[in-house]
With several copies, the nearest count.
Chain A
Amino acid sequence: MNMRIQLTNEPIAHQDMVENCRSKSAGAVVLFLGTVREITGNEQTLFLEYEAFAPLAEKALAEIAEQAKSKWAIEKLEIIHRLGILQPGETSIAVCVSCPHRADAFAACQQIMNKIKEVVPIWKKETSPKGVSNWIHPAN
């Protein structure tokens, strides 16, 4: 299978993900990290809180991974999403893909991220330095 999907409350060990994905049959490894920004637009973020509908989120991530595997020549693939409270600078999501060729690795990693943002039941709440909290529900 060579695939790992995980939701975690711990910091994401992306170094391990890269080492797991390296392979003598892959010429390309692409790692994406989504990290918490201190400022979005004009708003400052004190911290974010991520919540998931965990059983369905894991299934949705696995399905996204399977679709990617059927579309591109993927050697290894790991997706880890962090939940709970994250400080600015911390990693909320990491996707690592290895492929024989780099065009596939870039395309697969990017499309996996796009799909995750679209359909996986995970939500974030922003808390400002003034203590105001808002769940983010994009209006498209």
Chain B
Amino acid sequence: MIKISVLFFAGAREIVGQNRLEMELPALTSIAELRGILMVRFPRLESLASRAAFAVNEIFALPDTLLAQNDEVAFLPAVSGG
């Protein structure tokens, strides 16, 4: 198992109820798998999760990026800046 943390922003933070979540995951969990885990744990996150981007340690990540011990994942719902 690995320990990671997940950061939530904007509407996702409101749904999750906190801006940072510590999680234990099986080693070699991918971003796509993490997305599935989060959608099960927070059903209201589903509509945001389907269009969310992810970053790992402040770098944009792909769905098949594998997570490692102490990674900091950012869950980035569709952006509306500008």
A residues with a Cβ closer than 8 A to B are 34, 50-53, 55-57, 59-60, 81, 92-93, 113, 116-125, 134-140
Other than A93-B81, A117-B79, A121-B74, give 6 A-B pairs with Cβ distance below 8 A: A113-B82, A117-B82, A120-B79, A135-B14, A136-B80, A139-B78
Give the 10 A-B residue pairs with the shortest CB-CB distance, closest first: A122-B81, A135-B11, A123-B10, A136-B80, A137-B78, A135-B10, A117-B82, A137-B77, A55-B58, A121-B76
- Which residues on the B side are within 8 Å of A93 (C-beta)? 81-82
- Which residues on the B side are within 8 Å of A118 (C-beta)? 79
Instruction: Indicate whether A53 sits within 8 Å of B74 (C-beta atoms), given known contacts A123-B10, A135-B10.
Output: yes
Chain B 65-81 interface 0/1 with A at a Cβ cutoff of 8 Å (1 = within): 00000000010111111
